[in-house]
Structure 1
Amino acid sequence: MSLPTLRQILELPPFAGAELLSGHSRLDQVVTWVHVAEVMDAWRFLSGGELLLSTGLELARATPEAQVGYLRALAQAGAHGLALELVQWMREVPAELLQTARLLEFPILVFRSEVRFAELTRAAHERILRPHVARGEEPLLESLLDALIETGRSQGFLERQLGPVLSLPSRPRSTLLSTLEALLASQFNIAETARRLGVRRQSIYYRLEQLQGMLGDLDNVERRLGLWVALELLKR
């Protein structure tokens, strides 16, 4: 599988408003995944090659020394970029942080108007998981969805993945399905999910508890993949 470069990620339509402030020489590094990360110790969860998305919620509260330490830790952990939304918590990238990024040639990109992190991660992950295919060859996810439909297995798959939620009345079903999709798109980041859905965090915790009660363990990677495929199947 050919992973996309940061340059190719930035060419995706949802990233059109991004402004690159540093790290221009690193645009040809590959991106392995895109994470929404607000915590200051995000470096602990990285495996290398990630692009991080943040509103700067915690970063804005940190001292200049802590901000520089945060960036250095990301670089040492192998992150390949940091995207900041300069709307609510930060209006400009702190001078010392930007200076350090330029010294390290670490890519920092900014959005100066509100963006939907869910759309950014979805587009990036589709590009990562569904790289350019040979002419005439169908993308893997499309082939999987078509196979489920054509073999008459789509309904059974939906029932196994989402049955209890699908049996709900229209309004709660729609609410929980949209919440589940937002949770999956943000890697279950509660703050980001709440912000994008325009509700309080407590509402997301409550809905997540409902989803777990109906669907069981949502932490398993294979389970999350199955749910993602089911949600895409519902759109067909």
Structure 2
Amino acid sequence: MAGENGLDRIVKWVHYMENPGYIDWLKGGELILITGILLGKKVDKLLELVKNLNDKKVAGLVINVGPYIEATPKEIIQLANSLNFPVFELPFEVKIIDFSQSICKAIFNSKIEKESMESFMREIIFNDVTYSEEILNRAMLYGYNPECEYCSLVVYMDNLTSFIGTSEVWDQEAELRTKEQVEQIIIKIMNGFNKKTIHVSQSNSIIVMFPINDKDKKKTVNLISENIIKEISLKIEKLQISIGIGTYWRGFEDLKKSVLRAQKALKVLRINGRKNRICKYSDIGVYRLLFELEKSSEMKSMYEETLGKLIFYDKKNSTELVNTLEVYIRENCNLIMAAEELFIHKNTLKYRIKRIEDILECDFKDLEQILNFSIALKIGKLKN
């Protein structure tokens, strides 16, 4: 009837409410049913009701059209469309109690299925599991198709804690509501690409698995990721999202590896300051090796032997030569570009580079040494 763009709102329960005075008792997510027995044809009161329900973040309004409200007023339709607030009509012949029971039953069954799927997926991803025919059959029950190739995404809510804290008093209900809203946006986008997802919420992340049999897999995955970020930015203002993309997989036993790789891609985004909001594991380069050696004493030794003198100098003299070195190498040793990035004069940068060469006893014309410094800087980011 109206508010089609708000159909991704989550319905948590059905509530029959004729008296607008009970609005303050709503928590959000309810689907409200009315016959209009108290409001009747008072359009101004109905408009006020729709505004207030939208402010309370309810899922939508169902009008049981009949003797009290013969048809939804056009003013209500216009307002609902402007607010993206779903409004439906229910024929008066349909008993509200029957309608309510059907919706509540569907909500309950959906919740049980979701909890079961998430419990199963957490077991697979975060525990050591022996893969068996029983595991495979259960995965197929939740939508896994062994004939398809899959891709894994980890959608990370960067600022979930501060987002909840600034938008409303922190509570589990607010956190859950935000995560569910993000989930619904992801599912809606995946449906648009005709992708059936298997997903699970974990801490500040939503892990998503979907079939990817497209000819241009890379293009499709990038487009899906970009759409997720774009849609969440539009629907949930100020919530910042990053996405890590894992490797493609076919056998269910490779799911865990793909998810862990997506998480590593996210970590690279974080340690490099998130200049981009999407990172593919296939693009993280030498970090792939460094993650494998992360707990190695040899890696720690290389870091200290390569950059130790410069780190000590910075601490002793309150300078930032390590950062200068990092920017200089990142800008391919281009003095002009690096100076602009550091907001300093080119001659100042020349002096710093000469000072770094003296401290580290190196020559930046030696590409092998630059490579060593680049790797050591990346090790430092992983350490910190």
Q: TM class by shorter-chain length?
A: 0.3 to 0.5
**For the pair shown, which has the larger CA radius of gyration, 1 or 2?**
2
TM-score normalized with structure 1 length: 0.45
TM-score normalized with structure 2 length: 0.28
Q: Pick 1 or 2: higher relative contact order, CA cutoff 8 A, min separation 6.
A: 1
